[in-house]
Amino acid sequence: MATAAAHETARTQAYGTGDATDTTGTDAYETAFDAAVAADERIEPRDWMPDAYRSTLIRQIAQHAHSEIIGMQPEANWITRAPSLRRKAILMAKVQDEAGHGLYLYSAAETLGTSRDELLDKLHTGRQKYSSIFNYPTLTWADVGAIGWLVDGAAITNQVPLCRCSYGPYARAMVRICKEESFHQRQGYELLLALGRGTPEQHAMAQDAVDRWWWPSLMMFGPPDDESPHSAQSMAWKIKRHSNDELRQRFVDICVPQAESLGLTLPDPDLRWNEERGHHDFGVIDWAEFWDVLKGNGPCNEQRMTQRRRAHDEGAWVREAAAAYAAKHSGGRQTGETGETGATRA
Ligand SMILES: [Fe+2]
Ligand SMILES: [Fe+2]
């Protein structure tokens, strides 16, 4: 607490009570920023922050937001063909959750001084990325299970430490997102369990889906630590708390006993417990495939982007109507108008 109190004094001295946008006395601002990060405090939107910290966060949060909304596509592919009303209702709720995650994250990015329009434009023109995992196709119903178990599972492993990220709005968005992701992971596991215990054909379908999704889900943690040059800075800023390889190892260790319970095999002949390390060893990841998909050559890159741009264009009238509505009501507020359709609804 003493550290926090000392920092609070430094912060007040450096920031004063106004906007910390004045660049004079940057050293004092930087000291306060470093002290806040060292004391595990949250950096908030009005606090001074290094430009590189801001741009790193914008890039990371935007990529995360884009992944949430692009990730709706492969699963939405199965909504009309879900095998029962129960499964359909669950899948619809899950896909809707992902849209919500996108909204929280675009809002978090906006607190850093960018706009959702700008971020979507960067996505649509290929200047910002989304997670490569969503460039793989969902070929059978079992893929919905494999995505929930492995892709949402990998996302949780990545995202739980982000709940302690140094940037307040991102950390707070992640708390709610992680709670929902945990449901997603369980629905995938439960779906695969049902198929695994079903007919031999259903079991084979579940195994085939896991065979196709296992390696891409390991790639979700990003390149190996020695090829991930920005990781060290992100960890120093406490945006990231663990390295890519640490998180990947954690995920493998979690999945192995779960695969056993499911009665499914993970498609890696080199996967085995290493007593000495206290972790599972696993095979070599095909990084050439990772970079190729990232460059745009995955099976569904083009389809995902075409669909995203089409959805955006088709939603133009909604954005125009929302803007007209907001303009009408902000006009009401300026004239002091309140009441049923007035400023209280803004
Ligand atoms: Fe999500
Ligand atoms: Fe999810």
Tens-level pLDDT at each residue, the chain (346 residues)? 344 454 554 555 545 444 445 555 678 999 999 999 999 999 999 999 999 999 999 999 999 999 999 999 999 999 999 999 999 999 999 999 999 999 999 999 999 999 999 999 999 999 999 999 999 999 999 999 999 999 999 999 999 999 999 999 999 999 999 999 999 999 999 999 999 999 999 999 999 999 999 999 999 999 999 888 788 899 999 999 999 999 999 999 999 999 999 999 999 999 999 999 999 999 999 999 999 999 999 999 999 999 999 999 999 999 999 999 999 998 755 544 444 443 333 3
The residue written with tokens 């992701």 in the block is: 181
Query: How remote is the CA of residue 101 from the centroid of ligand 1, in Å?
Result: 5
Q: Rounded to whole angstroms, what are the CA distances from 114 to 61, 130, 215, 314? A: 11, 18, 34, 23
Domain ranges (residues) in the chain: 31-305
> In this predicted structure, what is the pLDDT of residue 330?
87
- The stretches of 220-315 forming alpha helices (DSSP H) are 231-236, 244-262, 287-292, 301-314
DSSP secondary structure code for residue 339 in this structure = S
- C-alpha to C-alpha distance for 156 and 158, rounded to whole angstroms: 5
Ranges of H-type helices in 77-225? 85-110, 116-124, 142-146, 153-159, 168-196, 200-219
β-strand partners of 279: 274
Name the DSSP class of 273.
E
CATH superfamily of 31-305: Ferritin, core subunit, four-helix bundle (1.20.1260.10)
Q: How far is the CA of 304 from the centre of ligand 2 (A)?
A: 17
C-alpha 64 to ligand 1 mean position (Å): 9
Distance spanning both ends of the chain, measured CA to CA: 39
**Residue 29 carries which DSSP code?**
H
Q: Which ligand is nearest to the CA of 174?
A: 1
Distance of alpha carbon 260 from alpha carbon 5, whole angstroms? 50
Q: How far is ligand 2, taken at its centre, from the CA of residue 150, in Å?
A: 10
The strand pairing partners of 280, in sequence order, are: 273
The answer to whether the beta carbons of residues 37 and 43 sit under 8 Å apart is yes
